[in-house]
Structure 1
């Protein structure tokens, strides 16, 4: 007897993902570990702040999946893609704006990380100059 509850087998993958919610105001990175047309298993560092419904963007597939939370564990979550079984709909007119806003948020995050790294590198140099 199998403990498999899925209608489709999930393929093992290792893809970068970006979860967005609160109308794009909140986001977090994740790894997509198993995936099928109907759902996925996501690995992420914090699962407690994740809402029941969110968007999952997978850059390598250049696709955003509307995701519904099915289970939650300390190190990850299981989601279904309820819209994937429906007929594909036309993307909303503001989809390109949403994608641009998402990309701007990603770039701002990368920029902040780089600024912190530069500040950390500049401090030892300033200390060495003061000591000399």
Structure 2
């Protein structure tokens, strides 16, 4: 592990489509998962997107919604921590 690598878990590079689902407004925002590990992920979102501190991240190819906490944001990239999983959300019609 290099000196620049501070993560305790290796993040696997992936390219998965996902949806950020917020319960406050029942809104959905499409995003892309850039890398992922058991405890979190890095998401690419549209620059103008407002992402709440906590939300569901539905990943159709996994068939899972991850409960997420936003840990950091830099421009159009967001780092999230997974706090649990749920089945496909009822709010999601895709």
TM superposition score category, shorter chain reference: 0.7 to 0.9
Partner of 1:102: 92
Indicate whether 1:82 and 2:83 are aligned.
yes
Q: Give the TM-score normalised by structure 1.
A: 0.62
Structure 1 residue aligned with 2:60: 59
Aligned residues: 93
TM-score (norm 2): 0.85
* Structure 1 or 2: more strand by fraction: 2
The 4+ residue runs of structure 1 with deviation greater than 3 A are none
1:24: Cα distance to partner?
6.4
Structure 2: gaps (5+ residues): none
- The answer to whether the 8 Å contact 2:54/2:67 transfers is yes
Task: Give the RMSD, CA atoms, in angstroms.
Answer: 2.1
CA drift at 1:73: 1.2
Greater relative contact order, per chain length (Cα 8 Å cut-off, separation 6+): 2
Give per-residue Cα distances to partners, 1:70-91, cap 9 Å, x unaligned: 110111100011237xxxxxx6
